[in-house]
Chains A and B, each alone.
Chain A
Amino acid sequence: MVVLSWLFVLMLVCFAVAPSLIAPRNPVALDILHRLQPPSFAHLFGTDEGGRDVFSRVVYGTRYSLGISAAIVLSAAVFGVVYGALSGVGPRWLDEILMRIVDIFFGFPALVLALAVAAALGRGLTSVAVALSLIWWPGIARLVRGEVQRIRERPHVEAARAIGVSPTSLIWRHILPFVMQEVNVRVTTDIGYALVAVTALSFLGLGAQSPTPEWGLLIRDSQDYFGSAWWYLVFPGVMIMATTAACSIIGDSLASHRESGVAP
């Protein structure tokens, strides 16, 4: 399963990097004569209401959907790691303040807030990225803070302090490398969840705008047609599900690798 997941992710990366090499057709060119065709050899995933090839749209959409999800999680991770580390090693009062701020973010339904923020910023993938990054970092910050506090009690940190290692080097060389294992697992799994959030906001019309072939937008566009054209709904959805599953399988395998005690 793990190998399969890696292969799937590799395929997605190819889709995102060089869609023109893989997609058989132009993702936005209309072909009204062949509208809403079921899947065939000519159109692997069928065609949509404008006669566009759904497979090509899915391939081109990878760059938008998955690219934005990865960007959200990575930016949230960078901020969350700095924030969490600061909270974990800083003085008690700072930790208290920083963590109360994080708590506030757990006080409201996150997706609804992201929706409000994205709506305020105006439609577009950038708004979605900003809105979701805003709600994504607190979870990572909380994880990092906990890990930092756990690791810093370990004997090797005590030993490093005893021989006079500077605080900066203590954090960078002796604490963060361990914390990053945990963060890697989280980031991998979260990319799948971020994909669901991105496509959800696009589905609501807040993200990519037509005719951008973004996966969530594809599902939104299929709303009026899927009763008679199942392929239009099914394939973009299957791509989202497969990606989420692959991310969590890879995340799990990273987690078990870490548990086996392989230190960086």
Chain B
Amino acid sequence: MTVFLLRRVGWAILVLFVVATLTFVLSHVVPADPAAFLAGQNATADTVARIRAEYGLDQPLLIQYLSYLRGLLHGDFGISLRTGRPVSEDLASFLPATLELLFFSFAIYVATSLFLAIIAAKRPGGRLDSGIRLFTMLGSGMPVFWLGMALQFLFFYKLGLLPLGGRFPLRAIAPPTVTGFLLVDTLLAGQPGAFLSALSCLILPSAAIVLNLLAVGTRMSRAALISESGKQYVRTARGKGVGPRRILYRHVLRNAMTPILASTSIQFGYMISWVILVEVIFDWPGIGLYAYQSFQVFDYAPVVALALVSTAVFSIINVLLDILYPIIDPRMRSLRA
């Protein structure tokens, strides 16, 4: 298990290294002169030279690359030209919002897709099964950014039920920051009203993400459940007189969990990408919106940071899921040792 974990972590580091190198090469080699680019159109030759020295752009490319990697290892992503602050500080203030949206959506996604799959797998081909399929296909057929705007149109402009965007109503008093997750912080501060308004801001962005991904998740889980239900041990259990509920929760679900988990980790990659898009639509103050606002003004460091951070989050989640496999399915323990 330890060897396996070390290999997985080593792999994650390699992937991060590739992303770091790729983004470095693109940002330093592709624009003919990054210093002129940074200085702007009307800069004098002096200014360009000063900027070149300031950013170390007069050094050989290899030296620049090494110092860039050294910086990354120390958590230094450079300075954002737009905010004038170190990107790492900006990230620290924006990341909790992204993670809150990501984890909230993920929890809803897992619960909903499993719930729908259990209902659909009860009678495959039945009316409920077809209904669920149609509903989930409809969501996945819509591009997530369009779906987000359609939800805004319906629930804000037409029905006036939910906020258009943002993370917390402007007039409301924000709770003291403990975890950075507003849902948790409002509860810790004992402000149920604030909790509800934070929740109301979360509903539409996460609904857009979940509705878009639901089709694949439900289909995978449904297939896993149906294939498990057809196995001999289920027949034996039924023959012994075990109730349907117990068969489902104690036997079928446990065995179906492994393939379900495998599809979940792939879906998580999409979920991270969708969160970035949805943040822009719903004005959600996370790292996606931060990077988006930065590259509108040609500020590139935050975009690199976004790529690295989201890859890191993705890798961590994948390692965690890999740890989960042997916990859920003891048969995998011996194989991985």
- Chain A residues near B318 (CB, 8 Å)? 107
User: CB < 8 Å: which of B30, B141, B143, B153 contacts A226?
Assistant: B153
User: CB < 8 Å: which of B141, B153, B295 contacts A119?
Assistant: B295
User: CB < 8 Å: which of B149, B156, B281, B296 contacts A205?
Assistant: B296
Answer whether residue B310 sits at the interface, using C-beta atoms and an 8 A cutoff: yes
Answer whether residue B88 sits at the interface, using C-beta atoms and an 8 A cutoff: no
When chains A and B are docked, how far (Å) is the Cα of A115 from the Cα of B300?
Answer: 11
Answer whether residue A233 sits at the interface, using C-beta atoms and an 8 A cutoff: yes
- Chain A residues near B307 (CB, 8 Å)? 108, 112-113, 115-116
Which chain A residues numbered 86 to 136 have a C-beta less than 8 Å away from chain B?
A: 104, 106-113, 115-117, 119-122
- Chain A residues near B153 (CB, 8 Å)? 226-227, 230, 233
Q: Is the CB of B306 within 8 A of A108?
A: no
Answer whether residue B14 sits at the interface, using C-beta atoms and an 8 A cutoff: yes
B266-284 vs A: 1/0 string, CB under 8 Å?
Answer: 0001101100110011000
Q: Is the CB of B30 within 8 A of A110?
A: no
User: What's the minimum C-beta distance from B270 to chain A, rounded to whole angstroms?
Assistant: 7
Answer whether residue B51 sits at the interface, using C-beta atoms and an 8 A cutoff: no
User: What's the minimum C-beta distance from A202 to chain B, rounded to whole angstroms?
Assistant: 10
A233-254 vs B: 1/0 string, CB under 8 Å?
Answer: 1000100110011000000000
When chains A and B are docked, how far (Å) is the Cα of A30 from the Cα of B304?
Answer: 38
Which of A115, A121, A196, A245: most chain B Cβ within 10 A? A115
B interface bracket (residues with beta carbon within 8 Å of A): 35 or more
Q: A119-B295, A120-B27, A237-B142 are in contact. Are A108 and B149 (CB under 8 A)?
A: no
User: What's the minimum C-beta distance from A254 to chain B, rounded to whole angstroms?
Assistant: 19
- Chain A residues near B26 (CB, 8 Å)? 116-117, 120-121
Answer whether residue A203 sits at the interface, using C-beta atoms and an 8 A cutoff: yes
User: What's the minimum C-beta distance from B152 to chain A, rounded to whole angstroms?
Assistant: 8
Which chain B residues numbered 88 to 132 have a C-beta less than 8 Å away from chain A?
A: none
Q: Is the CB of A219 within 8 A of B149?
A: yes
- Chain B residues near A226 (CB, 8 Å)? 149, 152-153, 157
Answer whether residue A223 sits at the interface, using C-beta atoms and an 8 A cutoff: yes
Q: Is the CB of A112 within 8 A of B306?
A: yes
B contact residues vs A (CB 8 Å cutoff): 11-12, 14-15, 18-19, 22-23, 26-27, 30-31, 141-146, 149-150, 152-153, 156-157, 269-270, 272-273, 276-277, 280-281, 291-292, 295-296, 300, 303-304, 306-307, 310-311, 314-315, 318
Besides A108-B269, A110-B269, A205-B296, 12 other A-B contacts (C-beta < 8 A): A107-B15, A107-B18, A109-B311, A109-B314, A113-B22, A117-B22, A200-B277, A223-B149, A226-B153, A227-B152, A237-B146, A237-B150
6 smallest beta-carbon distances between A and B, as pairs: A111-B273, A107-B15, A120-B26, A116-B307, A108-B311, A237-B146
